[in-house]
Structure 1
Amino acid sequence: MAESRARRRPERREEPLSRERIVEAAIELLDAEGEGGLTFRALARRLATGPGAIYWHVTGKDELLGAATDAVVTGTMTAAAEGTTPQEAVRALAVGVFDAIDAHPWIGTQLARAPAQSPLLRVFEHLGRQVQALGVPHAAQFTAASALLNYILGVGGQNAANARDHQPGTTRTEFLGEVSASWANLDPDEYAFTRGVAEQLRDHDDREEFLAGIDLILAGITGTAGITGIAARP
């Protein structure tokens, strides 16, 4: 009888539970359910274990969110290839973070929520080193790196929010077409510029526009007048 009951027991996980596996499962759950769906009960079900076993590796949800964010962000921090310019290194990091937020929309919120924690500091440090490599005076380096960081997080987060705000069953092309049409029908005196770029909105590529913005910021950073103006400010 005991042997029969043993054979009917549900299968348990075969791999040993580790912090890395917990973080991996948390990322999967966050991607599927969002931050609200990340509970230790749901995570325990996914890992076929008990909540107590998870608490052995992480102390609570905040630590788990930080570890999940750090794991995703670390994946964007690839070493620059030999011969890579500072501009190319910034672009590579920027698009890496942009793609990470696009694939994991909860990342943007976590990065903005805890600016003093390591995931965001990794990005800021990398940007700052490239700003230094561009020869930006020390007095202007914080402003230059901050401008890049804020643009990356702001546009990346907005792109992810726009994707979530699409009406169910509506494609991105259809959504942009509807917004573009509404812009084209705005009052021609009050919204002359917006009407004029309505067609560009319909046809634009989010990723390409994002990188074009990075290039504009880099051009300002490396411009002598821009650097002098920032550095001279009291």
Structure 2
Amino acid sequence: MIKTAHGKQRREDSLSRERIVEAAIAILDSSGEGALTFKALSQRLETGAGAIYWHIDSKDDLLIAACDAIVARTLGGLPENAVPDAAIRALALHMFDAIDAHPWVGATLARAAGQLPTVRILERVGQQVRALGVPDDVQWAAVSALLSYILGVSGQNAANAQLARERNLDRADFLGEMSSVWSKLDPAGYPFTNSMAARLPAHDDRADFLAGIDFILNGIARR
């Protein structure tokens, strides 16, 4: 009995915000946002909910902290000394892959406008846009376009993957179903969508994503 109490005390003494955040990330990755509760965290960390509340105010606070940890880790892995347009492409692709690996991050970023995880990305993109020599009066528009595209497309890609998993479909099956639906649309009313049906199953999400980044960067360069 004494040994058990001592072990529990030691665990609570070593509890930190960082340990709680990492445990939350593990739950979010394995089971999604709905599974993240203070009860689940308490069980995973073998501590009481009160000890967790000492470090974390609420579930929203925890989600933002977990999201920020992923974003900080992702941005920290970017190559150094890259030229601005290459740096933007690398940042965009790293975020795309991070949100694909952690689908809950996309939804959390959408709710975290103005908070630290989004501001980290905003600041990094903004620095590179300035380094491109974009005039002051259009910097915000350029950064907003890039940020909206990066977060929007990455989040939608992750949402599509999550939907496929919920329906027990792999990517090929999911796109095959969508392609079948598009191919049956009236070509007169939906000429473009119908024409894309056959190409849909073979398209590369990452390549398409980077092509969109290049469209924006080319527009910025012309401006």
| TM-score with structure 1 setting the length | 0.86
Matches of 2:178 and 2:167 in 1, distance apart? 16
Deviation sequence 1:177-227 (CA, Å, 0-9, x none)? 12112212221211111122222211111111111111111111111xxx2
Deviates more, 1:175-184 or 1:141-150: 175-184
Tell me the equivalent position of 2:207.
208
1:107-122 equivalences in 2 (<5 Å) = 107-122=105-120
Matches of 1:144 and 1:98 in 2, distance apart? 19
Tell me the equivalent position of 2:38.
40
Q: Is contact 1:13-1:47 (8 Å) kept? A: no
Tell me the equivalent position of 1:123.
121
Tell me the equivalent position of 1:181.
180
Unaligned runs of 5+ residues in structure 2 are none
Deviation sequence 1:132-172 (CA, Å, 0-9, x none)? 11111111100000000000111111111111112533211
Q: Is contact 1:87-1:130 (8 Å) kept? A: yes
1:1-234 equivalences in 2 (<5 Å) = 16-78=14-76, 79-82=78-81, 84-166=82-164, 168-223=167-222, 227=223
Unaligned runs of 5+ residues in structure 1 are 228-234
RMSD, aligned α-carbons: 2.1
Give the superposition deviation at 1:50. Answer: 0.7
Give the superposition deviation at 1:6. Answer: 5.6
Tell me the equivalent position of 1:231.
none
Q: Aligned in 2, Cα 1:13/1:91: closer, same or farther, shift over 3 Å?
A: farther
Q: Aligned in 2, Cα 1:48/1:8: closer, same or farther, shift over 3 Å?
A: closer
When the two structures are aligned, how many residues end up with a matched partner? Answer: 219
Q: Which amino acid aligns with 1:40?
A: F
Give the superposition deviation at 1:59. Answer: 2.1
Give the superposition deviation at 1:86. Answer: 0.8
Give the superposition deviation at 1:36. Answer: 2.1
Matches of 1:57 and 1:185 in 2, distance apart? 54
| TM-score with structure 2 setting the length | 0.91
Structure number with greater Rg is: 1
Q: Aligned in 2, Cα 1:13/1:163: closer, same or farther, shift over 3 Å?
A: farther
Matches of 1:77 and 1:214 in 2, distance apart? 17
Matches of 1:162 and 1:89 in 2, distance apart? 27
Q: Is contact 1:128-1:141 (8 Å) kept? A: yes
Give the superposition deviation at 1:109. Answer: 1.4
Secondary structure at the residue paired with 2:75?
coil
Give the superposition deviation at 1:8. Answer: 8.2
Q: Aligned in 2, Cα 1:7/1:114: closer, same or farther, shift over 3 Å?
A: closer
